[in-house]
Amino acid sequence: MNGKMLGAAALVAVAALTSPAWAGKKDNSLHFADPQVLENVDPYFNSVRIGVIVGQHIWDTLIYRDPETNEYKGLLATSWKWVDDKTIELELRKGVKFHNGATFNADDVVYTLNFVSKPENKVITQQNVNWIDHAEKLDDYKVRIVTKRPFPAALEYLAGPVIIHPHEYYAKVGPKGMSEKPLGTGPYRLVENAMGKYLRLERNPDYFKDSPKGQPKIEKLEFRFIPDPQTRMAEVLSGGIDLARQLTADQIEQLRAVPSVQVVSGEIMRFVFLQLNSTENTPAAPLRDVRVRKAILHAINREGMVKSIVGEGSRVINVMCFPSQFGCSDEGAPRYPYDPAKAKALLKEAGYPNGFDIDLYGFQDRNQTEAMVAFLGAVGIRANLRWSQYAAVREAMRSGKAPLSHQSWGSFSINDVSASTPVFFKFTPDDVTRDAEVRDLLERGDTSIDPKVRKEAYGKALKRIAEQAYAIPLYTLPALYAANKDLVFKAYRDEIPRVWEMSYK
């Protein structure tokens, strides 16, 4: 298949000729294709969505949040209570084993949390653990977690990205060894790891019966990393893939005509934005001028992109967070409608009547990035597209080499603003704005135990970010999945396909 999109009729013909075997249904396995390449399997040392998905299948967390009701349920912990504003005590589940047969207990929780929360251990996802001061063992099945400051969103994090490693194994092999041969208590265990190409897992026969995840029905699970959307498309058509994530909207629409494929879509907890380096050290001096930043906002037709490129389930956003997150409000924030004439006027006013050249970094959804390049070019901002893998783009942004980058953020599926806006505006490695007023407002929102104070602080921070055009919030993203027509599968807003729930008709 070449790079051009096939018509719906041609797709049906191709599907008929290839006679999809759907090997997954034949041997009760599932082959999952993802565009991202997993740089490190250890969830604390990667920040890509496929890492979150893999992590939830190999490992367990202390708490589980029901994706339907948002109710917290016991997973590795059976109960918990706040002792004071900075202390949580948890009773742990007995009878749980890691994939190597080691018994889960308090030592695993204490070692994991104390290791990942220490800055010197250089966890990539610092924002997910930097609220932890330390963990203490009270007895073999009871632990205490002490936070550095009041952190009311703690349970949300314990139910999301904070997985638990086996302490003896992790102490021996470290993050590198854990990435090569991951080991958890989760519903699936590793069989083979071809780094950067695929992971092969099998159902954990000893998975504990009382898990709110339930017992997995599918026996074998393969995660394949396929960056090229045309290759993923071809694999879906041939039956070599049972579930594919992040195909383009055009591909999804054409796949709706293929009888052997079902299409599942819906909004997910992920938003898209342009990150701007507006610091004194920015490699693009024009970005230091708020008029230029506002011109970029007016230059991009966000509504048009949602309708013609991004697809059903997406919506335009005006602030830097996902609408359902606690504290996310665009009340009082300015609006920047699509207005190329206004954009050109602002550029002229800022001293750039003929526009300027700038590098724009991207790593996913290239059709969206290229549309933005075109919109910017129409007002005189000549964007040079620098395409790479996510890790390289992240490093370029953090090191100050990337003035402008097309990003998306899924907040590790944490339904709280503390997992989104502060990541990019609280003097973290990803903060290329460095506004002390915004930082302090976000800190107040993160640490107050009064929900009203939290909402007010977050609202003020989001309003200031929008007024200063420190970033370009664009739109939310829909989940776009193509799957074997016989796969019983549900897409959740938290963007985690739960294979342990899936089965074949």
pLDDT at 37 over 50: yes
pLDDT confidence of residue 8: 42
Residue 364 has pLDDT above 90, yes or no: no
The more confident residue out of 24 and 268 is 268
Q: What is the pLDDT of residues 207-218, one digit of tens each?
A: 999 999 999 999
> What's the pLDDT at 19?
41
H/E run at residue 464: helix 451-467
Band (pLDDT 50/70/90 cuts) for residue 23 is low
251 CB contacts (<8 Å, ≥6 apart)?
5, 229, 233, 482
| CA 340 – CA 412 distance, rounded (Å) | 35
> What is the pLDDT averaged over residues 44-62?
95
pLDDT, averaged across the chain: 93
Whether residue 5 is predicted with pLDDT greater than 80 in this model: the reply is no
- Give the tokens for residue 464: 């200031």
Could you give the CA distance from residue 2 to residue 7 in angstroms, rounded to a whole number? 13
SS3 assignment, position 463: helix
Check whether 307 has a pLDDT greater than 80.
yes
Q: What is the pLDDT of residue 39?
A: 84
Identify the weakest region by mean pLDDT among 230-244, 248-262, 355-369.
Answer: 248-262
User: Is 60 exceeded by the pLDDT of residue 165?
Assistant: yes
Find the largest Cα–Cα distance for the chain.
70
CA distances from 342 to 70, 328, 337, 345, 348 (A): 43, 28, 10, 5, 10
What are the structure tokens assigned to 409, written together?
Answer: 């953020």
Res 54: pLDDT = 97
Predicted confidence band of residue 22 (pLDDT cuts 50, 70, 90): very low
The DSSP-derived string for 129-179 is TTTEEEEEEEETTEEEEEESS--TTHHHHHTTT-B---HHHHHHHHHHHHH
| 98 pLDDT more than 60 | yes
Question: So what's the pLDDT on residue 6?
Answer: 44
Name residue 99's amino acid. Answer: H
pLDDT reported for residue 180: 97
Residues 58-66 have a mean pLDDT of 97
Q: What is the pLDDT of residues 321-358, one digit of tens each?
A: 999 999 999 999 999 999 999 999 999 999 999 999 99
Q: What residue ranges define each of the domains in the chain, with the CATH number in brackets?
A: 63-170 (3.90.76.10), 267-478 (3.10.105.10)
pLDDT band at residue 313, thresholds of 50, 70 and 90? confident
Query: Is pLDDT at 387 greater than 60 in this prediction?
Result: yes
Average pLDDT estimate for 266-274: 91
Interval 155-159 mean pLDDT = 95
pLDDT digits (tens, 9 = 90+) for 125-152: 888 999 999 999 999 999 999 999 999 9
Residues 177-195: tens digit of each pLDDT:
999 999 999 999 999 999 9
pLDDT at 12 over 80: no
Q: In the block, which residue shows the tokens 């090569």?
A: 180
- Cα–Cα distances in angstroms (integers) from residue 238 to residues 21, 229, 234, 438, in the given order: 7, 14, 6, 51
